[in-house]
Chain A
Amino acid sequence: MSTAKDVTDATFQSEVLDSDKTIMVDFWAEWCGPCRAVSPILDAIAAEHADKLSIVKLNVDDNPETAMKYGITSIPAMKVYRGGEVVKTVIGAKPKPALEADLAEFLA
């Protein structure tokens, strides 16, 4: 089980867009094998960089409104939000070193 907090259509505004922190949202679904594979890697990155980047999860089946708003057509999709804006998108399950490289500017 992932340790990341769940956000929903109802809480997305307050917990992600209005947050004063940098937040990465992991768009995922139960039926998505690569999502399950990348989940523990995201947990590890979140644990190692808790002061820099918060990672939360959004289930696209339960929260279609947010998934549609951000044009999700492939999961896992990881979007970094800062000040209500998407500042980075990473698509697809990748090994930890590759994800850390993609997210380097937010982890340093």
Chain B
Amino acid sequence: MRQVIIVGSGPAGYTAAIYAARANLAPLVIASSVEFGGELMKTTEVENFPGFPEGIMGPDLMVKMQEQAERFGAQIVYDDVVKLELDGEVKRVTLGNGEVHEALSVIYATGSAYRKLGLDDETRLSGYGVSWCATCDGAFFKQKKVAVIGGGDSALEEATFLTRFADKVYLVHRRDKLRASAALQDRAFADPKIEFLWNQEVAHVYGDEKVTGIGLLDTNTGDETTLDVTGMFVAIGADPRTHLVHGQLELTPEGTIAVDGRSSRTSLPGVFAAGDVVDPTYKQAATAAGSGVVAALDAEKYLAELAPAVLAKATAVAA
């Protein structure tokens, strides 16, 4: 049995792993089979993570965090958690390959999943012009016209990235101003390839086998127009990934995992949560990393206060 299992391998999970490993807790990190490293694996240049004045590629940053955690003894498993049993003194974590791991504490840092527009044709044409990942799919739209849907940081990052390939990038936003940071806004406004379409909602995605256009609804006038694009990149935010803990942990009205004050303590003893899955507001790599620190320190304190006989169960087997 382990002292602590960390579920998730984004900035929160790996930072928690670094701290837990340095506290000699020998953490096991369940990193996911295909989404290890988290959301930053799908980004290019990260310019706002402290310590990298020239910027760093998102995947490179995540490999560094992984190596730093491993250096201090964290063990990483590239599989997916399919079941979590969190009540009671011993927590059970079941993986996709059928293995069951037990621990006295769990740090839950599963991040968030991209939100969809909710249109039938969006799902049907996913992978055929509808995309959630400009860095993955942008290169297939050389000299094409594409639309990016959204008004936050990720929408503007995707729009700017897509100008490397596409002739024209429409930024479709349902409001008349952006949520994105000033630096990203300035860059996008200055880009001659990006055209902003304000107060527009996506009502339709057209195309039989691949996207041929999208139908927009003007939120002020109700007018419908068709935009001739062959790609639609959806960047309208993300929802916390809580399906594994539904019915076990208390959630907030925003859908994130409820934690006690500024701590990472969830509604169950020995279960801590960190990163975007507890954060409806900031959702930055640096805030997630800080949140991972909090979770590791909270877990360390929880373990230290357990009866020696209980703790011995974990340390005996892990050694």
Contact = CB atoms under 8 A, between A and B. Distances in A.
Interface of A: 29, 31-35, 37-38, 40-41, 60-61, 67, 71-75, 77, 91-97
- Where chain B touches its partner, the secondary structure class is loop
Interface of B: 32-37, 41-42, 59, 78-80, 96-97, 126-129, 131, 133, 135-137, 139-141, 209-210, 230-231
5 contacts: A29-B139, A31-B135, A37-B41, A74-B126, A95-B33
B151 to A, nearest CB: 24
A46 to B, nearest CB: 16
Nearest to B32: A95
A38 B210 contact: no
Contacts of A67: 140
B18 to A, nearest CB: 22
B127 A92 contact: yes
A29 to B, nearest CB: 7
A34 B42 CA distance: 8
Contacts of A31: 135, 139
A96 B97 CA distance: 9
A19 B4 CA distance: 50
A37 B33 contact: yes
Contact of B131 (A61, A71, A74, A95): A74
Nearest to A90: B127
Contacts of B78: 40
A69 to B, nearest CB: 13
A40 B78 CA distance: 11
Please list the 7 inter-chain residue pairs (A to B) with the smallest Cβ-Cβ separation, ordered nearest first: A91-B127, A93-B34, A74-B127, A33-B41, A37-B34, A95-B33, A73-B140
A77 B36 contact: no
A30 to B, nearest CB: 11
B253 to A, nearest CB: 31
Given A73-B140, A74-B127, 16 more contacts: A29-B139, A34-B42, A34-B136, A37-B36, A73-B129, A74-B128, A74-B131, A74-B136, A75-B137, A75-B140, A92-B127, A93-B35, A95-B33, A95-B80, A96-B97, A97-B96
A67 B127 CA distance: 14
A35 B135 CA distance: 12
Given A73-B128, A73-B129, A74-B128, A41 B42 contact: no
